[in-house]
Chain A
């Protein structure tokens, strides 16, 4: 099997309204190539625009317009397409949103499935879809072993001073409240890619990375390649101002507002997660790309943008101070890669900790490759790095395979 080009790993990555997939062929962590890639768009979305599947094999690209009512329907279509190509797959890997403290990467077996079910409430929007895709793959391709990789696992190295919520011990024991963090796969990839690009040893580096997505966003302090702090918490609510999430708020505000709103926790969870952030501030859009053109004429748009920038600056400054200075600042994901104005504003006035931006390099930064944005000789290297969560899942799967064991109940 190894001689015929190595192990093939199919990776599924469930977004809230998309399903990204890749088939990798690997002989080792450093020798991984993509055989098939693609993305199902507008999954389980009702709207005027049609949903479609994007499917790339080698140089061939295909776009299939078809109703995609659910994530498992999209996954089913991907398996059918791969089957019709006659492409052998040895492993299927899935991103799992929030593994609690239970696992980093694990084979899917009955025991794991029951543990995954208990974790569904930790991410009520993403987890059910992820679970259904896993179950579908088990039914459709029962002979292919599957594994899941927990997205927050990269943050398992947080020290107690960063993850502890100073609440009564009985409460902590009963509920398991602590900071977990998110976007771990993305951070794991970008800090490694940044170190390789800069030719600095990851094992003795200090970095701040910002994963700025069209939905969720966070920042992380990474010391010697290990996460030591991050802006999200027990859930994905705290931290940066996001598209529809408030980010940091006074916890006492939550009880005050529940008082006003008749103690309805669900209503308020909804309000802070889906109607706050850029949407709540701007009053018209959760998308920073819609907000930027209106900065001059619309005070609400101006406030939304300024708050987004300031919150991010505060986290970068806080982590730079906590790390005793940094070697690199990394921007990633859609907003981090594409939004030049945002990067320019965030890096303005940050020379005190060595962060400077080269205006020209920032303007010309590529969206599909790594770009160095700081001027030559700058103390802190500022980079835009496209993230590759699927590749990290593949790496994790290779590590499992390398361990030489497979799920116990594989039929």
Chain B
């Protein structure tokens, strides 16, 4: 059986099949794949065989996402020693975006800084690569320009042309882009300088921007995407919901401009039932892109949301990390 491992600090998560069979059946593993959140500039393939060399590469990129990457690294080190004969792979979330065009990956800063790893890495590549495949299955092989929206506690949007990334909302870190459960998203970087000048330490500022902002700052610590999508809630929750909706609409419009218009908007969320309201409201607001959506029905994986005759199609995908990892692992196994 195929074993999938996702770092979810402070622990590791194992794919469902493994949990269901009671504990981790290492003896039955035919392959083991680890999610690597951030591959930096060293890991640029969606799947990389775990070897002493690739382990060294992963060790060198731990600093980009210390919490997650260190878990992935330690797990792979141990497993390779334990099961040296089982094929093992790093499935890297930033690899898909290593082919971002220069104008999307570069920040407009002096070249001396750009050579120090300062670039936009993107993220959630395992999802967007899978979403591209699913969109083509659902909408036909003629699909070329896709705006892939992933909604959740940490939402992001990617622009894809013929399966290759054109732009992404996630940047150097996953804080850039849309506001998230605890991250502030795009804000004026001058805020950081003023906080520093006022005496906050760098780690205090990092903590503030990435763990104490977003929905948490606006609504409270228990507010995630699911709560935001629910119809109830006071003014704070309404503002957070509105900011996320508005942010996604702006990203979609911006990416339509880069793609010269979109063929399909692929909207994904983990729980179809919990995101129904949000998704339909989002569709309603994307009219300027050429999307016609007058219906309201329960969401399910693969549902076409757009009206017949709509210039741009919209589909709903049930985002499932294990499914997108399994798909990528299968490709890797085939290729050896």
Contacts and interface: CB of A to CB of B under 8 A. Distances in A.
A168 B239 contact: no
A303 B113 CA distance: 16
A304 B107 CA distance: 10
Contact of B190 (A160, A235, A311): A235
B297 interface: no
B288 A272 contact: no
A125 B102 CA distance: 32
B216 to A, nearest CB: 8
A360 B251 CA distance: 32
B192 A275 contact: no
B16 interface: no
B256 A255 contact: no
B289 A321 contact: yes
Contacts of A275: 110
Interface string A258-279: 1110010100110110011111
Interface stretch (B89-97, B204-212, B317-325): B204-212
Interface string B164-196: 000100011101100100001111111111111
Nearest to A283: B111
Nearest to B166: A310
A324 B285 contact: yes
Interface in A231-267: 233-235, 237-238, 241, 246-260, 263, 265
A251 B288 contact: no
B171 A321 contact: no
Interface string A323-338: 1110000000000000
A252 B106 CA distance: 15
Interface stretch (B18-26, B68-76, B240-248): B240-248
B261 A352 contact: yes
B193 A265 contact: yes
Contacts of A353: 253, 256-257, 288-289
A238 B260 CA distance: 24
A252 B246 contact: no
B212 A238 contact: no
Question: Among B186, B188, B190, B252, which residue has the most Cβ atoms of chain A within 10 A?
Answer: B188
Interface in B245-288: 246, 249-258, 260-262, 285-288
B193 A234 contact: no
A272 B256 contact: no
A256 B261 contact: no
A248 B254 CA distance: 14
B218 A166 contact: yes
Contacts of B209: 167, 251-252, 255
A316 B257 contact: yes
A166 B191 CA distance: 12
Contact of B106 (A303, A317, A352): A303
Contact of A255 (B116, B187, B188, B202): B202
Interface stretch (A35-43, A171-179, A369-377, A394-402): A171-179
Given A259-B202, A265-B196, A321-B252, A253 B108 contact: no
Contacts of B198: 175
B118 A168 contact: no
B141 interface: no
Contact of A168 (B171, B190, B213): B213
Contact of B260 (A171, A248, A277, A349): A349
Given A271-B109, A320-B288, A166 B179 contact: yes
Nearest to B121: A250
B190 A234 contact: yes
A167 B217 contact: yes
Contact of B110 (A237, A260, A271): A271
Contact of B217 (A168, A247, A303): A168
Contacts of A408: none
A241 B209 CA distance: 23
A281 B253 CA distance: 26
A258 B196 contact: yes
A310 B209 CA distance: 27
Nearest to A354: B288
Question: Among A233, A252, A257, A280, which residue has the most Cβ atoms of chain B within 10 A?
Answer: A252
A200 interface: no
B85 interface: no
A203 interface: no
A306 interface: yes
Contact of A314 (B108, B175, B187, B254): B254
Contacts of A303: 102-103, 106
Contacts of A320: 253, 257, 288
A293 to B, nearest CB: 20
Question: Among A238, A253, A265, A322, which residue has the most Cβ atoms of chain B within 10 A?
Answer: A253
B205 A255 contact: yes
Contacts of B106: 281, 303, 307
Contact of B250 (A175, A233, A235, A322): A322
B108 A276 contact: yes
Contacts of A323: 288
Contact of A234 (B120, B188, B256): B188
A171 B208 contact: yes
A310 B105 CA distance: 12
B104 interface: yes
Contacts of A250: 107, 120, 171-173, 175-176, 189
A126 B218 CA distance: 34
B197 interface: yes
Contact of B257 (A263, A300, A314): A314
Nearest to A240: B108
13 contacts: A166-B179, A167-B184, A175-B195, A177-B187, A252-B206, A255-B196, A256-B118, A269-B190, A307-B103, A307-B108, A318-B249, A318-B257, A322-B246
Given A177-B194, A279-B110, A352-B256, 15 more contacts: A166-B213, A175-B198, A238-B186, A238-B189, A246-B109, A253-B118, A254-B189, A263-B196, A276-B110, A306-B102, A314-B257, A318-B250, A318-B251, A320-B257, A324-B287
Interface of B: 102-104, 106-111, 113, 116, 118, 120, 167, 171-173, 175-176, 179, 184-198, 202, 205-206, 208-210, 212-215, 217-218, 239-240, 242-243, 246, 249-258, 260-262, 285-290
The 6 A-B pairs at the shortest CB distance, nearest first, are namely A321-B253, A317-B257, A352-B261, A349-B260, A233-B188, A314-B254
